Amino acid sequence: MKLYCALCGRPMDQAAVLIGSHPVGPKCAQRAGLMALAKRKSGLVLPAMRWKIVKVQYPQTADLFDGVSA
Ligand SMILES: [Zn+2]
């Protein structure tokens, strides 16, 4: 799925913030001061970085594998 910046209409790989459901690129978001708004988490401007954070590492996993191999 291709993302297009809601402010300048240019294609981008990763949105920096969302205005409602409209993605905005990092350059436009910074220029328009949207990064500060997104951090405040009020209103329609939301940070979009959470899309990147998928992996959660559990320290217990290493112990589990040690037990299996022994
Ligand atoms: Zn833009």
* Euclidean distance between CA atoms 45 and 30, whole angstroms: 13
pLDDT at residue 56, as a whole number = 57
Cα–ligand 1 centroid distance for 32 (angstroms): 10
Determine the pLDDT at residue 53: 46
20 CA → ligand 1 middle, Å = 15
Residue 35 and residue 43 in contact, taking contact as beta carbons nearer than 8 Å: no
* pLDDT value of residue 42: 76
The residues facing 11 across adjacent strands are 4
Alpha-carbon distance of 6 to 14, in angstroms, equals: 12
Q: Residues whose CB is under 5 A from ligand 1 (ion)?
A: 5, 7-8, 25, 28
Domain spans in the chain, listed from the N-terminal domain onward: 3-50
Query: pTM of the entire structure?
Result: 0.65
Low-confidence ranges of the chain (pLDDT < 70): 1, 49-70
